[in-house]
Amino acid sequence: MNRTFDRYGAVAFLAIGTLFVIESRKITTSAYGSNVGSDIFPFYLGIILVLLSIRLFYETFRYAKSKPGKEKEKLDYKRFFIIFGSAVLYAYFMEDIGYVISTFVFLLIGFQTMNRGKIWVSALIAAIFSYGLYYLFVEILKGTLPGFPSWLGLS
Amino acid sequence: MSTLDYLGHGFAVALQWHNLLFAFIGVLIGTAVGVLPGIGPMSGVALLIPVTASMTGGLSPEQAAISSIILLAGVYYGAMYGGSTTSILLNTPGESSSVVTTLDGYQMARKGRAGTALAISAIGSFAAGVVALVGLIFLAGPLSEIAIKFGPAEYFSLMILGLAAVSGLAGKSITKALIMTVFGLLLATIGIDSVSGVARFTYDIPVLYSGLEFLTIAVGLFALGEVIKTILERESNDGQLAKITRIMPTKQDLKDSAGPITRGSLLGFFIGILPGAGATMASFFSYIMEKKFSKHPEKFGQGTIEGVAAPESANNAAAGGAMIPMLTLGIPGSGTTAILMGALIMYNVQPGPLLFEEHPQVAWGLIASMFLGNLMLLILNMPLVKIFAKIIETPPKYLIPLIVAISVFGVYAVQYTTFDLMLLMACGVAGYFLARNDFPLAPLVLGLVLGPMIENNMRRALTISNGDYAIFLQKPISAVFLVAAVLWLVVPILMKRRGKKVLVNEEG
């Protein structure tokens, strides 16, 4: 049990619950042919969430003191930030630079961050995956994915 | 038409060549998912929804629904089977439902009987699949006939019971589980209200009008969450792979495990039907039960074949049993069935009592395909088990970025928006940190899937009663469900107070 996380979590859920309660008051309170409007369900759920988070906050005071030294695991934040950061950029720019190029770049960065070396193998797998999936999905299954950017003049 | 006629039709559907192919792909991928430590059945099924959606693009809506659900269910029980492979060979369970299998399975492997252990768990899984199939045939019809008489008030209370059961058993803290359930229900209210057409919590942002897509959240929480965990915590399998020598079990082995397989299958099936109690608990209970039944309880933990046969049959039977409340009542009892149900809803097939009337092809086709799929697993796994064992050696270097890329592809192929990709990333981070701090994720997904239905039934019931909340207690069946729901939450708390250990279901 991580007391700090649970406390912040309780406060966050308290805020979310309050927000839903306040905002649901702005929704119309009746529907056609019924005096039960679309505000009731989120309103009560919001109240329940508020009560539950208060309960969780109260529970955090009763946690046994965590034993020092046991919880400290070394987390690989550097690797996480590189891969996750590139994943976010990949998602954000996918529509602009197209599926094949963005996926290829992301996979290459991902493979190399996980374990440096064998760059040609990585590039080959990334290329096969990104173009293979694109070809399979767009050409054969007639799905839609962002193609190559127009300034490349490929299509 | 009688049940047997329906079942015949179901087999006719399941035996169509493309559905056989889908079932085959399903169990194959499922086994791989079970073997790979990074992805569990929940993320496996969630990841494959968009892939199947594009694969079935050319079929009519109902046919597409059948084929996809056949594939996805195949992944589910395939993963149940595959999970045992790593338990036995590596002493690291691929899924939480095969944790118990490590106790005796790995010991058997150390004695050079890895092949026998794998074969027995394949046979046990198959037997369990058959038991679950028979159970489904007998229970599905009557259950949906009862459920069809339920009014909105009864339905509302039944779903509350389902949510309470899952929250009461998920994870270490009931408070946290309930928070996640309510949060899931709240997230489901975002978007246009289906009854009145009023936009709720959308703030004029166009992408929010259709609501948060369940698929995006499920893939983010489960698949990306697990990927992030692997990246941060540097999980690796350094264990020594046990050698597989003899695969076919001897006559004595079969004789020894016949009883445990039967008992495990039956127990697992009934535990599977109960909402909240999934495959993990089924395997635990059956192991404990076998130990009590056995004439040599001291042999358990030292590599006895009964200790592998019972839990492995139980977890597969539970996977089949869990289908029953999902199909007949429309109430998924676990995270994985919630995702399967979400997939059915995406195809406009609403699970519930009407499913067997409106879409008998889907319901019975799925039931029949589960039988065929289990048969395929049995045939596949006996000779190919050595190849599957090789999958464990897939370097995470390639696996992790590829899972991210498949998640992104899957979400984009269904939703076509960058917003959903960003939501996916956010859910991944949230999923990792929440799960790490014992906030269970399955109740959230369950709330998200059940939210609209609970709300509609609640409002229908309240409209009937003119806004009087007493209707939920005046209807006897509804009152019973609500009381049961309260008991389900209160009893574990009281038991904990008394200092008893409460078994929780980690798989969700």
Least CB–CB distance from A95: residue in B418, B439, B467: B418
Interface contact B418-A77, CB threshold 8 A: no
Question: Whole domain around residue B228: which residue ranges?
Answer: 3-497
Lowest mean pLDDT among A134-138, B13-17, B58-62: B58-62
Minimum CA–CA partner of B190 in chain A: A42
Question: Are residues B269 and B279 in contact, defined by beta-carbon separation less than 8 angstroms?
Answer: no
Least CB–CB distance from A91: residue in B398, B408, B455: B408
What burial class does residue A97 get, using C-beta atoms within 10 Å of its C-beta: 0-12 exposed, 13-18 middle, 19+ buried? Answer: middle
Residues 6 or more apart whose CB falls under 8 angstroms from that of A52 comprise A13, A17, B175, B178, B179, B182
Other C-beta atoms lying within 10 Å of the C-beta of residue B373: 30
What burial class does residue B306 get, using C-beta atoms within 10 Å of its C-beta: 0-12 exposed, 13-18 middle, 19+ buried? Answer: buried
Helices (H), B170-278: 174-188, 214-218, 225-233, 251-273
Tokens encoding B348 = 């406009």
Q: Which of B151, B148, B67 is nearest to B356 (CA)?
A: B148
Interface contact A80-B176, CB threshold 8 A: no
CA angle, B359 then B360 then B363, to 5°: 95
What burial class does residue B378 get, using C-beta atoms within 10 Å of its C-beta: 0-12 exposed, 13-18 middle, 19+ buried? Answer: middle
Least CB–CB distance from A107: residue in B54, B176, B405: B405
Question: Are residues B490 and B223 in contact, defined by beta-carbon separation less than 8 angstroms?
Answer: no
Interface probe for A, chosen from B56, B167, B232 (most Cβ of A below 10 Å), is B232
Q: How many domains does chain B have?
A: 1
pLDDT digits (tens, 9 = 90+) for A78-125: 889 999 999 999 999 998 888 999 999 999 999 998 888 788 989 999
- pLDDT(A69) > 50: no
Instruction: List the helix and strand counts (H, then E) for chain B.
Output: 22, 2
Minimum CA–CA partner of A55 in chain B: B175
Tokens encoding B405 = 């890329």
Interface contact A41-B458, CB threshold 8 A: yes
Residue B185 has a pLDDT of 94
Interface contact A16-B186, CB threshold 8 A: yes
The DSSP-derived string for B282-338 is HHHHHHHHHHHH-S-GGGTTS--THHHHHHHHHHHHHHHHTHHIIIIIS---SHHHH
Residue B503 has a pLDDT of 57
Least CB–CB distance from B54: residue in A75, A95, A137: A137
Minimum CA–CA partner of B459 in chain A: A36
Question: Are residues B307 and B251 in contact, defined by beta-carbon separation less than 8 angstroms?
Answer: no
- pLDDT(B1) > 70: no
Lowest mean pLDDT among A9-13, B54-58, B366-370, B426-430: B54-58
Lowest mean pLDDT among B233-237, B280-284, B356-360, B496-500: B233-237
Residue at A113: amino acid letter: T
Q: Using CA of residue B485, residue B488, residue B490, residue B491, what is the dihedral sign?
A: positive
End-to-end CA distance of chain A: 56
Q: What share of chain B is helix, strand, coil (3-state, %, to 5)?
A: 75, 0, 25
Residues A8, B374: Cα–Cα separation, whole Å: 46
Residues B82, B188: Cα–Cα separation, whole Å: 33
The alpha carbon of residue A152 is apart from the nearest alpha carbon of chain B, in Å, by 22
Tokens encoding A154 = 């490929």
Residues B133, B248: Cα–Cα separation, whole Å: 25
Lowest mean pLDDT among A111-115, B4-8, B424-428: B4-8
Minimum CA–CA partner of B426 in chain A: A88
Interface contact A91-B228, CB threshold 8 A: no
Interface contact B54-A141, CB threshold 8 A: yes
- Whether B145 is in a domain gets the answer yes
What's the maximum distance between 2 C-alpha atoms anywhere in chain A?
A: 68
Window 75-134 of A: residues touching B by CB (8 A cutoff) are 75-77, 79-80, 83-84, 87-88, 90-92, 94-95, 99, 103, 106-107, 109-111, 114-115, 122, 125, 129-130, 133
Number of Cβ pairs < 8 A linking chain A and chain B: 174
- pLDDT(B45) > 60: yes
How large is the average pLDDT for residues B13-36?
Answer: 88
- pLDDT(A6) > 70: yes
3-class DSSP state of B196: coil
- Whether B507 is in a domain gets the answer no
CA angle, B334 then B336 then B339, to 5°: 110
Interface contact B198-A125, CB threshold 8 A: no
- Whether B503 is in a domain gets the answer no
Chain B residues whose CB is inside 8 A of the A133 CB are 409
How large is the average pLDDT for residues B126-140?
Answer: 85
Residue B508 has a pLDDT of 38
Q: What mean pLDDT, rounded, does chain A reach?
A: 84
Rounded to an integer, what is the distance from CA B155 to the centroid of its chain?
22
Least CB–CB distance from B397: residue in A94, A109, A115: A115
Instruction: List the helix and strand counts (H, then E) for chain A.
Output: 5, 0
Residue A127 has a pLDDT of 93
Minimum CA–CA partner of A23 in chain B: B201
Chain B residues whose CB is inside 8 A of the A31 CB are 195-196, 198, 459
pLDDT digits (tens, 9 = 90+) for B103-124: 888 888 888 888 888 888 888 8
Q: How confident is the model at residue B501 (pLDDT cuts 50, 70, 90)?
A: low
- Whether B56 is in a domain gets the answer yes
Compute the half-sphere exposure of residue B99: CA atoms within 13 Å on the CB side of its CA.
11
pLDDT digits (tens, 9 = 90+) for A40-66: 889 999 999 999 999 999 888 887 665
Window 28-67 of A: residues touching B by CB (8 A cutoff) are 28, 31-38, 40-42, 45-46, 48-49, 52-53, 55-56, 59
Chain A residues whose CB is inside 8 A of the B231 CB are 76, 79-80, 83-84, 114
How large is the average pLDDT for residues A116-142?
Answer: 87
- Whether B257 is in a domain gets the answer yes
Interface probe for B, chosen from A52, A59, A145 (most Cβ of B below 10 Å), is A52
The residue assigned the tokens 């492979």 is B85
Chain B residues whose CB is inside 8 A of the A92 CB are 418, 421-422
Residues B86, B37: Cα–Cα separation, whole Å: 8
> Of B17-31, B246-260, B267-281, B347-361, which has the strongest mean pLDDT?
B17-31
Question: Are residues A122 and A111 in contact, defined by beta-carbon separation less than 8 angstroms?
Answer: yes
pLDDT digits (tens, 9 = 90+) for B251-262: 788 778 888 889
Q: What does the domain layout of chain A look like in residue ranges?
A: 3-60, 77-152
Question: Are residues B121 and B104 in contact, defined by beta-carbon separation less than 8 angstroms?
Answer: no
Minimum CA–CA partner of B401 in chain A: A110
Interface contact B418-A141, CB threshold 8 A: no
- H/E run at residue B199: strand B199-200
Residues B347, B339: Cα–Cα separation, whole Å: 13
Which tops the pLDDT comparison, B487 or B95?
B487
Interface contact A141-B193, CB threshold 8 A: no
Q: Give percent of chain B above pLDDT 90.
A: 14
Interface contact B54-A106, CB threshold 8 A: no
Question: Are residues B201 and B189 in contact, defined by beta-carbon separation less than 8 angstroms?
Answer: yes
Lowest mean pLDDT among B242-256, B355-369, B371-385, B491-505: B491-505
Least CB–CB distance from A2: residue in B185, B437, B466: B437
Other C-beta atoms lying within 10 Å of the C-beta of residue B387: 10
Which tops the pLDDT comparison, B378 or B483?
B483
pLDDT digits (tens, 9 = 90+) for B453-488: 899 899 889 888 888 888 899 999 999 999 999 988
pLDDT digits (tens, 9 = 90+) for B398-417: 888 998 998 898 888 888 88
Q: Which of B259, B303, B283, B329 is nearest to B94 (CA)?
A: B283
Lowest mean pLDDT among A68-72, B256-260, B437-441: A68-72
Q: Give the bridge partners for B200, in sequence order.
A: B191
Give the per-residue SS3 of B94-114.
Answer: CCHHHHHHHHHHHHHHHCCCH
3-class DSSP state of B84: helix
Chain B residues whose CB is inside 8 A of the A103 CB are 405, 408-409
Minimum CA–CA partner of B177 in chain A: A52
Residue B318 has a pLDDT of 87
Question: Are residues A41 and A106 in contact, defined by beta-carbon separation less than 8 angstroms?
Answer: no
Residue B50 has a pLDDT of 80
Q: How confident is the model at residue B504 (pLDDT cuts 50, 70, 90)?
A: low
Tokens encoding B17 = 């060549």
pLDDT digits (tens, 9 = 90+) for B170-198: 777 888 999 999 999 999 999 888 777 88
A40-68 burial: b if 16+ Cβ within 10 Å, else e: bbbbbbbbbbbebbeebbebbeeeeeeee
How large is the average pLDDT for residues B276-287?
Answer: 81
Residue A155 has a pLDDT of 55
